[in-house]
Amino acid sequence: MKYAKFLLLGISFGILLIKAEVVSWFRIQEMFLFDSFHMYGVIGSAIVVGAISIQIIKKFNLKSIDGEPIVLKPKPLKKVGNLVGGICFGFGWALTGACPAPLFALTGAGYSIIVLAIIGATIGTFVYGLLQKHLPH
Partner 1 sequence: MDFIFSPWPWYISGPLIGLMVPGMLYIGNKPFGVSSTLRSVCSMCVPINVDLYRKNDWKKDIWNLVFLAGILLGGAIAGNFLNSGNPLPLDEATVERLTSMGITDFNSLLPQEIFNWNELFTLRTFIITVIGGFFVGFGARYAGGCTSGHAIMGLSMFQLASLIAVVGFFIGGLLMSYFILPTILTL
CA atoms of 129 and 21, how far apart (whole Å): 32
The residues, any chain, with a CB within 8 Å of residue 39's CB and separated by 6 or more, are 22, 27, 28, 30, 31
Question: What's the closest the beta carbon of residue 18 comes to partner 1, in angstroms?
Answer: 4
Number of residues lying near partner 1 (CB under 8 A): 116
Question: What's the closest the beta carbon of residue 65 comes to partner 1, in angstroms?
Answer: 5
> Binding residue for partner 1 (CB under 8 A) from 7, 59, 60, 134?
7
CA atoms of 109 and 62, how far apart (whole Å): 36
> Binding residue for partner 1 (CB under 8 A) from 1, 59, 60, 108?
108
User: Are 31 and 39 spatial neighbours (Cβ–Cβ below 8 Å)?
Assistant: yes
Give yes or no for residue 1 binding partner 1 (CB under 8 A). no
Question: What's the closest the beta carbon of residue 134 comes to partner 1, in angstroms?
Answer: 11
